[in-house]
């Protein structure tokens, strides 16, 4: 049997790897599948593992308060290297662009273990935006043997960097695989979720248009987050028919400005980070989504929700090109202008809401499995 290890550390990685892991685990006669987590994000990671019934074989539990990139990188390399010594895998899987992704890939390279990279080829070509993700994914591409880009554009990025076309397979994004499974579950229990948010947070989705907000990017810490919060405050105070729901990321650099600027505004609901399934419910109930997240740029269009991206660059230009997303940066006036434009212009709103999602149809995990089954 071939030994496969999936290595990840954050909630987005877990979501995008879960359906792939479960496909490999089903074929126990060909693959011996292991799951190793670094717990780069502890609480949010555990939520997703429970949803998809994934029990890690190895848990490094590396989360520490105010951890630096230097310290977490060193700990991941050391920790996963020890796991590789125990298992002696034939292949490791990594996903996306986190510090876990790069550090685990580097550790595998040192031991001459092939790497398969899910969601490969995303680029902004600005090494500091997003930081450190852009460099993480570029260095992972240099190391990897198998590359699974979600779109034609991401494939072309890899080919232009000299990656062998025979080792590249366009799959769509695995996040859509997970989203469609969870969305069906939510639809069958919709009243339960609506009742929960009324009782827990006094949020009624039938009264006002809901704008869902997520924000956590390191490059926006400081003035960037203050600008975002001031824009939200302005729109909330000038539009009584709108309500904002903002699950606040646990990072203190996010918590402080959000709570300072947006607290005690009647139509802004500041709530704790949500588990994956409730978050998808919130997205389904939203009129539009305001985010700096990469995954949300892929998920929301599958639910027909326009996305306003609060970043200066995006590694997912496909959404902008087809019209599902709009890139506005962290300038307060630009954010306000785009939100109010979509609130007041139904024709333009419908163009974004009805544009086809370029990130796949929910078959990415099967394509990845078939490629490795045939090649390894």
Q: Domain extents for the chain?
A: 2-173+361-375, 178-354
Read off the tokens for 282: 């919130």
The pLDDT of residue 218: 79
The pLDDT of residue 197: 97
The pLDDT of residue 222: 83
Residue 46 near residue 200, CB atoms below 8 Å: no
| Annotation: CATH topology of 178-354 | Rossmann fold (3.40.50)
Integer Cα distance of 226 and 222 in angstroms: 6
The pLDDT of residue 40: 66
Integer Cα distance of 124 and 368 in angstroms: 24
φ and ψ at 359, to 5 degrees? -100, 15
The pLDDT of residue 41: 64
- Residues with a catalytic annotation lie at 97, 119, 133, 216, 218, 249
Which has the closest alpha carbon to 287: 228, 322, 251, 235? Answer: 235
List b or e across 235-247, with b for residues whose CB sees 16 or more CB atoms inside 10 angstroms: bbeebeebbbbbb
Integer Cα distance of 313 and 328 in angstroms: 9
The pLDDT of residue 219: 80
The pLDDT of residue 161: 97
SS3 161: coil
Is residue 33 packed enough to be buried (19+ CB in 10 Å), middle (13-18) or exposed (0-12)?
A: buried
Could you tell me if residue 331 is left (phi over 0), alpha (psi between -120 and 50 degrees) or otherwise beta?
beta
Superfamily the domain 2-173+361-375 falls into: Glycogen Phosphorylase B; (3.40.50.2000)
pLDDT digit string (tens) for the chain, length 376 residues: 999 999 999 888 999 999 999 999 999 999 999 999 998 667 668 888 888 999 999 999 887 878 899 999 999 999 999 999 999 999 999 999 999 999 999 999 999 999 999 999 999 999 998 899 999 999 999 999 999 999 999 999 999 999 999 999 999 999 999 999 999 999 999 999 999 999 999 999 999 999 999 988 878 888 889 999 999 999 999 999 999 999 998 888 889 999 999 999 999 999 999 988 999 999 999 999 999 988 899 999 999 999 999 998 898 999 999 999 999 999 999 999 999 999 999 999 999 999 999 998 899 999 999 999 999 8
Q: Can you give the pTM of this predicted structure?
A: 0.86
Return the ∠ at Cα 144 (arms to 142 and 148), rounded to 5°: 110
Residue 292 near residue 220, CB atoms below 8 Å: yes
């Amino acid at each position: 049997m071939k030994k496969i290890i999936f290595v990840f550390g954050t909630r987005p990685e877990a979501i995008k790897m879960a359906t792939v892991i479960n496909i490999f685990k089903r074929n126990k006669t060909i693959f011996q599948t292991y799951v190793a987590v670094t717990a780069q994000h502890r609480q949010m990671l555990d939520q997703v593992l429970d949803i998809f019934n994934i029990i890690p074989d190895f848990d490094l539990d590396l989360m520490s308060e105010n951890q630096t990139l230097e310290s977490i990188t060193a700990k991941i390399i050391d920790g996963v290297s020890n796991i590789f010594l125990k298992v002696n895998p034939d292949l490791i899987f990594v996903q996306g662009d986190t510090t876990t992704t790069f550090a685990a890939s580097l550790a595998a390279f040192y031991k001459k273990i092939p790497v398969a990279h899910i969601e490969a080829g995303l680029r902004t070509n600005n090494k500091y935006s997003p930081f450190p993700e852009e460099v993480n994914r570029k260095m992972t591409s240099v190391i990897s043997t198998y590359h699974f880009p979600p779109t034609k554009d991401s494939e072309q990025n890899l080919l232009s960097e000299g990656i062998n076309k025979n080792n590249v397979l366009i799959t769509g994004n695995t996040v859509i695989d997970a989203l469609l499974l969870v969305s069906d579950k939510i639809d069958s229990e919709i009243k339960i979720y609506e009742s929960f948010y009324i009782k827990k947070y006094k949020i009624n989705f039938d009264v006002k248009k809901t704008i869902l907000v997520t924000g956590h990017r390191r490059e926006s810490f400081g003035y960037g987050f203050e600008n975002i919060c001031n824009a939200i405050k302005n729109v909330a105070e000038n539009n009584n028919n709108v309500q904002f729901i903002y699950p606040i990321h646990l990072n203190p650099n996010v918590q402080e400005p959000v709570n300072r600027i947006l607290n005690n505004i009647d139509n802004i609901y500041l709530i704790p980070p949500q588990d994956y399934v409730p978050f998808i419910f919130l997205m389904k109930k939203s009129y539009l989504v305001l985010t700096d997240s990469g995954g949300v740029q892929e998920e929301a269009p599958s639910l027909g929700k326009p996305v306003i991206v609060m970043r200066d660059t995006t590694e997912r230009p496909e959404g902008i090109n087809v019209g599902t997303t709009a890139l506005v940066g962290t300038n307060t006036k630009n954010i306000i202008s785009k939100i109010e434009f979509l609130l007041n212009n139904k024709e333009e709103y419908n163009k974004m809401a009805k544009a086809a999602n370029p990130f796949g149809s929910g078959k990415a995990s099967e394509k990845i499995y078939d490629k490795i089954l045939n090649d390894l």
